[in-house]
Amino acid sequence: MAQPPAKNPELLDTALKSLHDLLTALNVRSEPLDELAAVEGFADLYTTLLEVRNAIMATAAGDLQYQIAMRGYVPGAIKGMQASLRHLTWQTKAIASGDYSQRTDFMGEFSDAFNTMVLQLDETMRNLHLKEQDLRKMAQTDPLTGANNRGYFMELLHTEIKRCQRYSHTFSVLMLDLDNFKSINDTRGHAAGDEALRTMIRVFQSSGLRQSDFWGRIGGEEFAVTLPETTLHAAAEAAERIRANLVKTAVSYDNDKFFFTASIGVSQYKAGDALETLLQRADQAMYEAKQTGRNRVCLAP
């Protein structure tokens, strides 16, 4: 007499082989063999394992949006893993955009490695930012005096001209040259001359200039100051404060003190001015101050 299908050894072997293939084979059937329908509970078990297999393969391939329809402990665990990986993906994108505050605490040993990596990235980026700031400052700063160098001063002045052209404002520029600077170098040495240049910067800083005002060392013993939203008359008053402050400021060098003066030319921006023409007028006024006795302020027409 034939055995019932559910207890047929050959049929059970076929069922076991089908389940084994779900776990090990490259290609499997999307539905169980028709003859295995007689094995009690096999169809549900096959469908569940197939769903678990598909979810694992999708996750392994990077598809974290695969929807698991089945319920149960194992499908639930896979759903949790997918959710964790989706959140980790979001955190990684946040880190890529510069958010180094991201931390994980739901993936055990991986979380420790992830958090360590983020901390190291954060420190590396902060160090790079500081180095970038240092390099930018070096590129913009006169190394002797700490003032803006010629290139950066001209860049700022060009920006100020564009601003005035756009908003119909005005501003003024001072050109300043130290008087008899060569004699300081010749009689006291170049180190004393360097200290005189640094003293000039301290005079700028103590002469009531505003935060919006900026200055730079243009070359040698020549400096320039830009006074935004300042008329020629107001700029002349600022120049006179600088000149008078300089006269009474001693240069301390090599256990000695000495004084020096400067000649200053003042020019106000006029509509249509190019950077060169504005500075040229201030420069001509400065030379007029030199030629008429030094230690004075002259205004460009």
pLDDT above 60 for 4: no
Question: Where are the strands (E) in the chain, listed by range?
Answer: 171-178, 214-219, 222-228, 251-253, 256-258, 262-268, 297-299
Type of residue numbered 40:
E
Domain 150-299 architecture: 2-Layer Sandwich (3.30)
Closest CA to 265 of 228, 230, 225: 225
The confidence score (pLDDT) of residue 7 equals 66
Residue 201 CB neighbour total at 10 angstroms: 17
Write out pLDDT tens, residues 86-122. Answer: 888 899 999 889 898 999 888 788 888 888 888 888 8
Pairwise CA distance, residues 286 & 294, whole Å = 9
Which is more confidently placed, 41 or 270?
A: 270
Pairwise CA distance, residues 268 & 56, whole Å = 74
User: For 247-271, what is the mean pLDDT?
Assistant: 95
Percent of the chain with pLDDT over 90: 53
What pLDDT band is residue 1 in, cutting at 50, 70 and 90?
Answer: very low
Query: Taking phi first (over 0 means left), then psi (-120 to 50 degrees means alpha), and beta for anything else, what does residue 271 get?
Result: beta
Residue 48, burial from CB neighbour count under 10 angstroms (0-12, 13-18, 19+) = middle
For residue 126, give both structure tokens: 């902060």
pLDDT above 70 for 183: yes
Q: ∠ at Cα 227 (222, 229), nearest 5°?
A: 155
Pairwise CA distance, residues 181 & 178, whole Å = 6
10 is catalytic: no
Which is more confidently placed, 34 or 221?
A: 221
- Does the global pTM surpass 0.85? no
Closest CA to 223 of 197, 248, 246: 197
Could you identify the residue written with the tokens 């008087």?
179
Alpha-carbon distances, residue 56 vs 24, 53, 107 (angstroms): 13, 5, 17
CB 78 within 8 A of CB 59: yes
The confidence score (pLDDT) of residue 260 equals 97
Write out pLDDT tens, residues 38-73. Answer: 888 888 888 888 888 988 898 888 888 888 887 888
Which residue in the list 31, 221, 237, 288 is annotated as catalytic?
Answer: 221
User: For 242-262, what is the mean pLDDT?
Assistant: 95
Alpha-carbon distances, residue 284 vs 149, 248, 265, 269 (angstroms): 21, 26, 7, 15
Sign of CA dihedral 96, 101, 106, 111: positive
